[in-house]
């Protein structure tokens, strides 16, 4: 097989998908409780997305950013309207969104006369696999073998506001804080109450940019369009998106407030593919469907149901330590690393993921129904009992 073996893939491939179901080449159908890792929030083959892609594909795929792209402008307007931010830059992935944000942080720092601007990041964070993004990531396994890492990151424990304050006070070279509102790969860890607001306060007092990595939590997943919208009166300076934005077409975005966005003057950053007409058409269809079908509300309502049913079934299970998350981003924390749980779930017709060794991660499509939520828990409870 002429593929680099950087993935230990499961022994299945899918021929097609519809809604929350994926159909295997083995003739079986699988309930998708992972959504291609928080990507297919509208499920598979959503008619609005399919139609948008088909229509746009027949018209124009790509022109490059040397020309005006009205669909990109319209998508930027849509995202700024729902986020409260002022301007967008489009790229192709979550890692690229974080790279762009880190470049904005450095421009911001240099603009304030800092020779070597630093970014504060957190333990157990995940920001992607490109060099700066993996240097920002708080996981030694992901960094191992890739030194020299990109300098310019200071790290404190996730959730520890006092530690963040202390490091910011002691380091005048800090220009920004980069943080996930709920750590995804790190084990579905929600920020403790008051943490984001506290970071906002630190940034305001010290002139730092607060940059949220909502690559996984964004686009309705947690029960609001963006996870920070659970905090009242809160706005980040920079917001990084990808995964759910295109429902499967590769698109990432960085949104920013006006003065920050203005740091990217002509020539400062770029991308050949980013924000092409084809991906912007798909993403606009995603946002329109999210709003028309009130999918963030649905994620909130069904997330509560999922958490409740999980609690009822698994609360007293000897292997279950905690059930946590928000909306349809849920982690079941086990006491020990489970034995072949993902493989056993696959055999039982359920697609899920285990992250941070012992956290079962559930990220079902936001279009899922109540019966299917119960079905996920039924299968999972059966697997944990066997
Ligand atoms: C997945 C993820 C990334 C990386 O996104 P890619 O598209 O794989 O580059 C970055 N940050 C967070 C929080 C993620 O969940």
- Examine residue 244 and state whether it is found in any structural domain, yes or no: yes
CATH code for position 375 = 3.90.1150.10
For residues 81 and 21, membership in a common domain is answered with no
Task: Name the residue of 90, 94, 221 to mutate for ligand 1: max ligand atoms within 8 A of Cβ.
Answer: 94
Helices (H) and strands (E) in the chain, counts: 13, 17
184 lines ligand 1 (CB under 6 A): yes
Does a structural domain hold residue 284?
yes
Both 228 and 160 in one domain: the answer is yes
Task: Give the per-residue pLDDT at 227.
Answer: 98
If one counts the domains in the chain, the total is 2
Both 127 and 167 in one domain: the answer is yes
Ligand 1 centroid–CA 143 distance in Å is 15
pLDDT at 293 over 90: yes
- Residue 248's pLDDT band (cuts 50, 70, 90): very high
The catalytic residue positions are 126, 213, 243
CATH number at residue 223: 3.40.640.10
CB 127 within 8 A of CB 137: yes
pLDDT, tens digit (0-9, with 9 covering 90-100), for 22-66? 999 999 999 999 999 999 999 999 999 999 999 999 999 999 999
Say how many Å lie between the CA of residue 299 and the centre of ligand 1.
20
Report the alpha-carbon distance of residue 300 to residue 43 in Å, rounded: 17
Ligand 1, residue 214: give the atom nearest the CA: 13
How sure is the predictor about 113, in pLDDT bands with cuts at 50, 70 and 90? very high
pLDDT of residue 50: 98
Q: Whose CA is nearest to atom 5 of ligand 1?
A: 94
Residues 33 and 168 in one domain: no
Note the pLDDT of residue 213: 99
**Can you give the pLDDT at residue 306?**
98
Residue 3 lies in a domain: no
**Domain co-membership, 41 together with 125:** no
What pLDDT score was predicted for residue 144? 98
Same structural domain, 113 and 245: yes
- Is the CB of 126 inside a 6 Å radius of any atom of ligand 1? yes
Please name the residues in contact with 222: beta carbons below 8 A apart, sequence gap of 6 or more. 181, 182, 230, 299, 300, 303, 326, 327, 328, 329
Instruction: Give the span between the Cα atoms of 36 and 15, in whole angstroms.
Output: 14
Contact 139, 124 (CB under 8 A): yes
Q: Are residues 58 and 73 in the same domain?
A: yes
Is 56 part of a structural domain of the chain?
yes
Closest atom, ligand 1, to C-alpha of 128: 4
Point out the ligand 1 atom lying closest to the alpha carbon of residue 98: 10
CB of 327 closer than 6 A to ligand 1? no
Helix axes 277-292, 70-83, angle to 10 degrees: 30
Among candidate residues 358, 315, 314, the one with its CA nearest the CA of residue 336: 358
Q: What is the pLDDT of residue 18?
A: 98
**282 and 139, same structural domain?**
yes
Question: Which residue's alpha carbon is nearest to atom 15 within ligand 1?
Answer: 216
**Tens digit of each residue's pLDDT (9 = 90 or more) over 296-350:** 999 999 999 999 999 999 999 999 999 999 999 999 999 999 999 999 999 999 9
- The reply to whether 346 and 370 lie within a common domain is yes
Residue 2 lies in a domain: no
Give the percent of the chain with pLDDT over 70.
100
Whether 216 lines ligand 1, by a CB cut-off of 6 Å, is: yes
Residue 9 lies in a domain: no
Select from 292, 319, 343 the last residue of a domain: 292
Q: Cα(102)–Cα(236) distance, rounded to whole angstroms?
A: 14
Q: Residue 198 above 80 pLDDT? A: yes
Integer Cα distance of 327 and 299 in angstroms: 5
| pLDDT tens column, 127-139 | 999 999 999 999 9
- Count of other CB atoms within 10 angstroms of residue 48: 17
Average pLDDT over residues 194-205: 98
- Distances in whole angstroms, Cα of residue 215 to Cα of each of 35, 54, 103, 282, 333: 14, 26, 17, 17, 22
Residue 100 Cβ inside 6 Å of ligand 1? The answer reads no
Residue 98 CA to ligand 1 center (angstroms) comes to 8
pLDDT at 178: 99
The residue out of 292, 325, 347 marking a domain boundary is 292
Is residue 203 domain-resident?
yes
Task: Show Cβ contacts of residue 73 under 8 Å, excluding neighbours closer than 6 positions.
Answer: none
Q: Are residues 268 and 311 in the same domain?
A: no
If asked whether residues 182 and 109 sit together in one domain, one would say: yes
CB atoms closer than 10 angstroms to residue 290: 23
What is residue 193's predicted lDDT score, i.e. its pLDDT?
Answer: 96
Q: Say how far apart CA 190 and CA 318 lie, in whole Å.
A: 23
| Residue 5, domain member (yes or no) | no
Q: In this structure, are 177 and 108 located in the same domain?
A: yes
Give, for 323, the enclosing helix (H) or strand (E). strand 320-326
- Say yes or no to pLDDT of 1 above 90: no
Average pLDDT of 217-240?
A: 98
Q: Which residue, by CA, sits nearest to atom 11 of ligand 1?
A: 127
Domain finish residue from 243, 263, 292: 292
Q: Which domain holds residue 42?
A: 14-46+294-385
- Any atom of ligand 1 within 6 Å of the Cβ of 244: no
Query: In the beta sheet, which residues pair with residue 183?
Result: 189
Q: Is 242 in the pocket of ligand 1 (CB under 6 A)?
A: yes
**CA-closest candidate to residue 285, choices 55, 14, 13:** 55
């Amino acid at each position: 097989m002429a593929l680099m073996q950087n993935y230990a893939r499961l022994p299945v491939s899918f021929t097609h998908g519809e809604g929350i179901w994926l159909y295997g080449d083995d003739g079986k159908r699988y309930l998708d409780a992972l959504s291609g890792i928080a990507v297919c929030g509208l499920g598979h083959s959503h008619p609005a997305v399919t139609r948008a892609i088909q229509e746009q594909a027949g018209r124009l795929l790509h022109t490059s950013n040397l020309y005006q792209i009205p669909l990109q402008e319209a998508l930027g307007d849509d995202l700024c309207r729902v986020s409260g931010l002022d301007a967008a830059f489009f790229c192709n992935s979550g890692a690229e969104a974080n790279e762009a944000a880190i470049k904005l942080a450095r421009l911001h720092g240099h603009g304030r006369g800092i020779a070597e601007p630093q970014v504060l990041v957190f333990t157990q964070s995940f920001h992607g696999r490109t060099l700066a993004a993996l240097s920002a990531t708080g996981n030694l396994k992901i960094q191992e073998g890739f030194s020299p890492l990109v300098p310019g990151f200071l790290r404190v424990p996730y959730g520890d506001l006092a530690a963040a304050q202390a490091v910011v006070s002691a380091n005048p070279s800090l220009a920004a804080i980069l943080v996930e509102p709920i750590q995804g790969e790190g084990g579905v860890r929600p920020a403790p109450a008051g943490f984001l607001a506290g970071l906002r306060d630190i940034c305001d007092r010290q002139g730092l940019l607060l940059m949220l990595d909502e690559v996984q939590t964004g686009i309705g997943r947690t029960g609001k369009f963006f996870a920070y919208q659970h905090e009242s009166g809160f706005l980040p300076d920079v917001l990084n998106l990808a995964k759910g934005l295109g429902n499967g077409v590769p698109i990432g975005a960085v949104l920013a407030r006006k003065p920050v966005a203005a740091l990217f003057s002509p020539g400062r950053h770029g991308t050949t593919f980013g924000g092409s007409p084809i991906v912007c058409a798909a993403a606009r269809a995603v946002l329109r469907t999210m709003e028309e079908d009130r999918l963030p509300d649905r994620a909130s309502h069904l997330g509560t149901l999922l958490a409740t049913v999980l609690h009822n079934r698994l609360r007293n299970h000897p292997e279950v330590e905690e059930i946590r998350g928000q909306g349809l981003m849920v982690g079941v924390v086990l006491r020990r690393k489970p034995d072949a749980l993902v493989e056993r779930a696959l055999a039982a017709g359920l697609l899920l993921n285990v992250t941070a060794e012992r956290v079962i991660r559930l990220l079902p499509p936001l279009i899922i129904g109540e019966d299917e939520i119960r079905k996920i828990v039924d299968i999972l409870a059966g697997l944990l009992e066997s």
